[in-house]
Structure 1
């Protein structure tokens, strides 16, 4: 897609000799060069994946919410819209006690 540099409208393609782009709104015309090279095969190099975080677990935001399983006082959480837009978001919690790790939700 090409856009007009004068009025920013979408340029139209015309198959004349030579082919050209033209604007329907203003008098802008741009000729298309006939010797355009198109590469049809591109060799992609295989690249190994690089880990983003090593060693530390991404916890996210935390709050003081008691775990229903071990009663630990802190948990990480995130919110997600699981029902219709006029309903409140669902909060998902994960216990920060390393021996527990229990997950629960609050609707």
Structure 2
């Protein structure tokens, strides 16, 4: 990710040129710097837990009612998906039907 030197917005690649959509600033590309960037296509881990190995990963279970099948047990894990000053989001995976849902603090 590259940021605009003029206004601080995210720059976007247009051929060999980086362009700012906010202020119009343009700059040439730096091959060495671009080689260090990780694109979304290169990211392998999407953060989603595979249900088939939830038990192998040692996910704990808790007593909670599944909204789909009304089973009373689910695997759970917590993940920070909002800004750092907000609480983590709890994700649940039903041990019976594998339905997924989340719970946010409000």
> What TM-score, normalized by structure 1, do the two folds share?
0.44
More strand by share: 2
Which structure carries more helix by proportion? 2
The TM-score, its normalising length taken from structure 2, stands at 0.44
Q: Which has the larger radius of gyration?
A: 1
